[in-house]
Amino acid sequence: MSTSTKRLTVAQATIEFLQVQYVERDGVEQPFFGGCLGIFGHGNVGGIGQALYQYPSFKYYQSRNEQAMVHTAIAYAKVKNRLGAFVCTSSIGPGATNMITGAATATINRIPVLLLPGDIFATRLVNPVLQQLEYPYSNDVSVNDCFKPVSKYWDRINRPEQLVSALMQAMRTLTSPAETGTVTLCIPQDVQAEAFDFPAHLFQKKVWSVPRTRAGERGIEQAVQLISQAKKPVIIAGGGVIYSGAAADLKAWVNKSGIPVVETFAGKGSLRYDEPQNLGAAGVTGTPGAIAVCEEADLVIGIGTRYSDFTSISQSAFQNQQVRFININVCEFDSVKQGALALTGDARETIRELDKKLGDYKVEDGYAASVVQYNKSWNEQVDKVYSTDGGHAVSQGSVIGAVNDFSAERDIVVCAAGSLPGDLHKLWRTQDPKGFHLEYGYSCMGYEIAGGLGAKMADPSREVWVMVGDGSYLMMAQEIVTSIQEGYKIMIILLNNNGYASIGGLSRSLGSDGFGTHYKFRNKATGELNGTYLPVDLATNAESLGATVLRTKNLTEFKQALEQAKQTDKTTVVYIDTDREQRVNGYTWWDVPVAEVSTIDSVKESAEKLKKNREKQRHYL
């Protein structure tokens, strides 16, 4: 190996290294990083900022909010099937801590993001520096230590020599299907600008191979035996199906075997909506067929799912006393959940092995027929919701239907929080594995518009429809500016229902009457927040950020506006008021605590319902 060196600052070495990192899977090679999203401040402008200026080939994108830029990076990596990522850089102090929510979002969703927050002076000569948290028990602690629990790999580079091993560990983590998530490298601002003679080979092209790990042979044999004996098996398709590129293999397997499939938020799109074995949304926001099949199942085959409480209906979804679990997952931590037979391996390869060994296995005819009927009846129900026209009282479901009917097969719908995700999970007719882009691992309000930008950056050939309610919009809309600056057109469907409708509904279900969830003036007579609605004009706000805005008052105007939006050349917002009380039916419960004692009768009633529902919960060991 060459002993030659290259004298660079730590920041320059970091950027030069990152721009020669590649990833390969199945023989297809591509650059791993799409560039750097950032906001400069005194913690990174003279170091990382100078390096980005020196290396314009590593493209820099100017963001408007540090949390938002991490959301953009997450969406980009998700559309890339985790085979591509972005770097995010911030100043020290509030710039850094603004990224913590994004870091948690990425790690919870198993999505690769590299964060380079500025840090305090390693020399400690300038102490405290502006925006420094002084921790009286250690001089080695800064606010960046807050990233530790939400990062899959965390390091602080106090000396230039430390950078080499840190960068290698960062890439190992980012490109690992099992370990990926947020990687945080904290580089003190003086160290960023410090020069060092780095080994020249650090800056040679490096290709990281993403393996398709194989489950153990003994486990495969046991799984084949369990499946062969099962009378009512069901597959829970999670995000791992899509990240693995296993959708076609799953379709072939279930079309032949008749095993029904239910989809998590991350897994929606594993099958087209009209595949006869696809029962649609699983869990709390599930369809009647999906809920019924899971309740009766004697074998649950989880593929690439982490069994969140929405998927497991707070551990009450599976009521068959003899139910067994098989989990296919690249991550051992997830594969052992539910007391399952763990097949720790790649989803596509494991599906292929099981299908081959099962041969002509099929579920019994009666069970197969009931699955097909569930699929048919739910699509008929969706037709009814889509065709509902309440005149001026526009329902959220009918808006979803209008967008879905208008969108093309490869279009992407993006959403994250509020009541929209549950309705989209049930109602959206996904035709492409990448067509349904929901951030629901963290259900982070504010993800939507920033995420829509990241999705468009990852694949500009697709139209991106961002569906966002007024609550999320008010939290984070400013990446509209970035989308316009960079020429990435997204179409934003902005629904206004004057408040937090989702939590308002949950509050009512708990007996609390939607308290504190409407956007209303404080009543001067009573002191309560139940006066008239606030006169907030979200459409004009979006217009002020540079977007083209189309205001609509009913479904007819809304559908016309969708056509207009398609013809515009920049980010466009279609605005409509919706009726928060016209809801898509829910078919099951969710475990949210209710006050055990109260003076309010409705709270007492809710507590009794919760007590009965909790009797269904089980431990699976």
Q: What is the pLDDT of residue 2?
A: 60
| % of the chain exceeding 90 in pLDDT | 90
Residue type, 614: R
Say if CB 446 and CB 476 are below 8 A apart.
Answer: yes
Residue 461 pLDDT exceeds 80: yes
140: tokens are 């080695």
Q: What's the confidence (pLDDT) of residue 389?
A: 67
pLDDT at 54: 97
Query: Mean pLDDT, to the nearest integer, of 128-155?
Result: 92
Instruction: Quickly tell me which residue has 């019994």 as its tokens.
Output: 364
> Do 69 and 38 form a contact (C-beta atoms < 8 A)?
yes
Helices (H) and strands (E) in the chain, counts: 24, 23
Cα distances (Å, whole numbers) of residue 74 to 118, 425, 544: 20, 20, 27
Residue 590 has pLDDT above 90, yes or no: yes
- Between 514 and 240, the more confident residue is 240
Residue 313 has pLDDT above 60, yes or no: yes
CA distance 588 to 609: 12
Residue 393 has a pLDDT of 77
- What pTM was computed for the model? 0.96
Predicted local distance difference test score (pLDDT) of residue 307: 97
563 confidence band (pLDDT: 50, 70, 90) = very high
Task: Name 22's Cβ contacts closer than 8 Å, sequence gap at least 6.
Answer: 29, 30, 31, 32, 205, 206, 207, 208
Position 390 scores a pLDDT of 59
- At residue 207, the 3 state secondary structure works out as strand
User: How many Å apart are CA 599 and CA 132, to the nearest integer?
Assistant: 47
Q: What is the pLDDT of residue 583?
A: 80
HEC sequence for 556-574: HHHHHHHHHHHHCCCCEEE
Across 483-487, average pLDDT: 97
Separation CA 322–CA 387 (nearest Å): 41
The residues facing 199 across adjacent strands are 5
Predicted confidence (pLDDT) at residue 298 exceeds the cutoff of 90 = yes
Residue 387's pLDDT is what?
Answer: 86
Rounded to whole angstroms, the Cα distance separating 387 from 382 reads: 9
What mean pLDDT do residues 171-190 have? 97
155: number of CA atoms within 13 Å, CB side? 19
Cis ω for the linkage preceding 117 (within 30 of 0): no
What's the whole-number mean pLDDT along residues 321-329?
97
Residue length of the chain = 621
Give the mean model confidence (pLDDT) for residues 528-551.
Answer: 95
Amino acid at 579: D
In sign, the C-alpha dihedral spanning 497, 498, 502, 505 is negative
Nearest to 425 by CA among 290, 560, 597: 290
Predicted local confidence at residue 74, as pLDDT: 98
Average pLDDT over residues 295-306: 98
At 406-458, the pLDDT tens digits run 999 999 999 999 999 999 999 999 999 999 999 999 999 999 999 999 999 99
At residue 130, what are phi and psi to the nearest 5 degrees? -50, 130
- Report the candidate in 407, 461, 457 with the shortest Cα–Cα distance to residue 436: 407
* H-helix or E-strand spanning residue 198: strand 195-199
Bridge partners of 116, per DSSP, are 89
Distance CA 289, CA 294 (A): 9
Report in angstroms the alpha-carbon separations of 250 from 71, 277, 445. Answer: 29, 11, 32
Distances (CA, A) of 284 to 263, 291, 395, 585, 586: 12, 8, 21, 11, 8
With tokens 């400690």, the residue in question is: 124
Residue 1: is its pLDDT beyond 70? no
Q: Do 68 and 450 meet the contact criterion of CB atoms below 8 Å apart? A: yes
> Residue 542: what pLDDT?
97
| Beta carbons within 8 Å of 111's beta carbon, 6+ residues apart | 74, 77, 78, 82, 105, 180, 181
CB atoms within 10 A of CB 432: 15
Residue-level pLDDT at 134 = 86
Q: 56-109, pLDDT tens digit by residue?
A: 999 999 999 999 999 999 999 999 999 999 999 999 999 999 999 999 999 999
Residues 6 or more apart in contact with residue 159 via CB below 8 angstroms: 122, 191
Angle at 167 between CA 103 and CA 83, to 5 degrees: 60
Please answer whether residues 200 and 2 qualify as being in contact, where contact means their C-beta atoms are separated by less than 8 angstroms: yes
Mean pLDDT of the chain: 95
Joined together, the tokens standing for residue 161 give 């020599």
DSSP state of 520: B
Mean pLDDT of 511-515: 90
Query: What's the mean pLDDT in 110-128?
Result: 93
Q: Which two tokens stand for residue 88?
A: 């995010």
Task: List the single range of 151-165, 390-404, 596-610 with lowest mean pLDDT.
Answer: 390-404
pLDDT at 19 > cutoff 70: yes
Residue with more model confidence, 508 or 357: 357
Domains of the chain: 5-209 (3.40.50.970), 217-377 (3.40.50.1220), 388-498+534-577 (3.40.50.970)
Residue 79 vs residues 70, 324, 414, 454, 458: alpha-carbon distances, Å = 14, 33, 11, 8, 6
348 closest CA partner among 266, 433, 437, 240? 240
452, two tokens: 């829509």
pLDDT classification of 268: cutoffs 50, 70, 90:
very high
Query: How far is it, in rounded angstroms, from Cα 580 to Cα 577?
Result: 9
Quick one: which of 453, 473, 466 has its CA closest to 542?
473
Over residues 386-403, the pLDDT tens digits come to 987 656 679 999 999 999
42 burial via Cβ count (<10 Å: 0-12, 13-18, 19+): middle
Contact in structure between 40 and 224 (CB atoms under 8 Å) = no
Compute the distance between CA of residue 31 and CA of residue 22 in angstroms, rounded to an integer.
4
CA 442 vs. chain centroid, Å, equals 7
